[in-house]
Amino acid sequence: MVGAVFAQLDRSLKLALPVVSTVLAVLLSVVPLPIPEYSMLAPNVVLVCAFYWIVHRPDLFPAWCAFLVGLLDDALSGAPLGLNALVLLLVHYAIVVQHKFFRGKAFWLIWAAFALIAGGAAIATAIVAYAAAHLSVPFALFATQLALTIAIYPAIGAVLGRVQRLFLTAG
Amino acid sequence: MARPGTTMKLTAPLKVLLQRMAFTGLIGASVGLLVLGKAEAPVVERARMTVVDAVAPMLDAIGKPIDTAARMIDTARHYADVHEENRRLREENLRLLHWQQVARNLEAENRAMRDMQRVATEPGLTFVTARVIADAGGAFVRSVLIAAGTRDGIAKGQPALVPDGLVGRVGETGERAARVLLLTDLNSHVPVQIEGTRDRAIIDGDNSDMPKLTFLSSGARPQLGDRIVTSGDGGVFPPGLPVGIVVQTGEHGVRVRPFADFHRLEAIRIVDYGLAGTLPVAAPPPQPRRGR
């Protein structure tokens, strides 16, 4: 009986991993690091995490999770509330619509798709931020941040891939 | 085994429809929040600070080991040039002793003059020092979260300082956390004056590292290297808080480099100069207040 409860708990925890790891990415992305300019140039690790899980386990990362993760990000980062929520929802939609494309594709193709989606997300963020709060970003900053986000994808993807293989292969 | 298959077939279109509706609803909710936020509805601020309050202890816990590691690296680096540092500090100490003497003389003179004029002394300032738990912002906003809120006596609008100078002001408050809007943020406008000439101006953030001086009083000619301090106009900041130094003048406007290093904010001091009876230090009380 107790064993069954634990087994169920274990299973639930594993199934929550995609969302939990993305929430962790939100927290880590706002913790102050003693690196100059970091908070301005930091790659969008939340987008990387969300993208990875929506591509590989869309069943464990539904749209409402993308919405809530985005809201948390907005609340902590001080961005207009709803900005990242909206952008993550759009990213979710873009991936789910093209789900057949992602199935069983080689890593570099998924990375290329990520680059496209990250670019789209950055442009969407800039447009919504301007429309909602007249916030604008210098182009150099915008481009650097996007490049870093795309560059960091393989590293975070590898870690999340390992997490997926370890805990979510049978699920 | 056939049964679940048929139910799946029956419910699949319904499920898709429900999912679409939920998705549209969520998009609507995001847009709604953005619109409410643009209208500066208080409910948005409250919602945001409720979330921050809930997450603040976690951020604090995650940040501490990073802080410790950074401090250890710093210590190790300082060992390397401890002699040089020592020599520099001795020299600085000599210089400061001189200034201490000057300050004593001025203080005595000031007291004597106040006595003569019967000027009411300013109310004593109280400070709350709080750790920076989130240095967020990304590209759009320049703000940090600190681990002290209304229960520590923090209120909206209070000035935020580091030993080098003004950092900004409290923008939003939660119970155990608050957001400090930095001088460099787009929404930051602080009344200042040029220290030497007492020319008034406003220092406006524009999300760059060097905020602009605007609304300079006519005839003012700020020079490179001029010190900028708060003017006390508007009553938000007490006069004389060091803000920064003029680093650019001319056609493209006057720009100021703040004294505070925004990339290395560890602890921030929130000054309460209006309200009496707040705690001197951000000591976390055992149980958070709830209710209302």
| CATH code, B239 | 2.40.10.340
Strand B200-204 relative to strand B212-214, pairing: antiparallel
B223 touches A: beta carbon within 8 Å: no
Range of the domain at B53: 43-117
- Same domain flag for B70 and B150: no
In this prediction, what percent of chain B has a pLDDT beyond 90? 25
In this prediction, what percent of chain A has a pLDDT beyond 90? 50
Measured distance CA(B178)–CA(B56) in Å, rounded: 10
- Same domain flag for B160 and B111: no
Q: What was the pLDDT predicted at B289?
A: 44
- Same domain flag for B258 and B137: yes
* Residue of A36, A82, A145 lying closest to B34 (CB–CB): A82
Total domains, chain A: 1
Domain boundary (B102, B117, B132) is at B117
- Same domain flag for B110 and B140: no
- Same domain flag for B191 and B236: yes
- Same domain flag for B133 and B267: yes
Angle between helices A45-56 and A2-30 (to 10 degrees): 140
Q: What is the DSSP letter of A82?
A: T
B24 touches A: beta carbon within 8 Å: no
pLDDT digits (tens, 9 = 90+) for B212-243: 988 888 887 888 888 999 988 877 788 888 99
- CB B163 within 8 Å of CB B242: no
Interface test with A, best of B26, B209, B261 (most A CBs within 10 A): B26
Q: What was the pLDDT predicted at A99?
A: 85
* Residue of A40, A70, A80 lying closest to B139 (CB–CB): A40
Q: Which residues of A fall within a CB distance of 8 Å from B138?
A: 39-40, 42, 44, 77, 79, 145
Q: What was the pLDDT predicted at B83?
A: 86
- Same domain flag for B68 and B102: yes
Q: Give A79's pLDDT tier (boundaries 50, 70, 90).
A: confident
- Same domain flag for B110 and B66: yes
A132 or A54: which leads in pLDDT = A54
Q: What was the pLDDT predicted at A5?
A: 83
Exposure string for B93-122, b = 16+ CB within 10 A, e = fewer: eeeeeeeeeeeeeeeeeeeeeeeeeeeeee
**Residue B13 domain-assigned (yes or no):** no
Query: Which stretch of A7-11, A49-53, A160-164 has the lowest confidence by average pLDDT?
Result: A7-11
Report, as an integer, the average pLDDT of B119-132.
73
**Residue B15 domain-assigned (yes or no):** no
- Same domain flag for B93 and B156: no
A88 or B251: which leads in pLDDT = A88
In this prediction, what percent of chain B has a pLDDT beyond 70? 86
- Same domain flag for B137 and B230: yes
What the block records as the tokens of B162 is 């580091």
Q: Which residues of B fall within a CB distance of 8 Å from A141?
A: 139
Q: Give B122's pLDDT tier (boundaries 50, 70, 90).
A: low
Range of the domain at A32: 2-167
- Same domain flag for B112 and B128: no
**Residue B152 domain-assigned (yes or no):** yes
Report, as an integer, the average pLDDT of B60-89.
84
- Name residues 158-187 of chain B within 8 A of A (Cβ): 179, 186
- Same domain flag for B179 and B248: yes
Total domains, chain B: 2
- pTM equals 0.78
**Residue B187 domain-assigned (yes or no):** yes
**Residue B285 domain-assigned (yes or no):** no
* Residue of A67, A89, A141 lying closest to B139 (CB–CB): A141
**Residue B153 domain-assigned (yes or no):** yes
Give kind and range of the element (H or E) at residue A112: helix A107-133
| CATH code, A62 | 1.10.1760
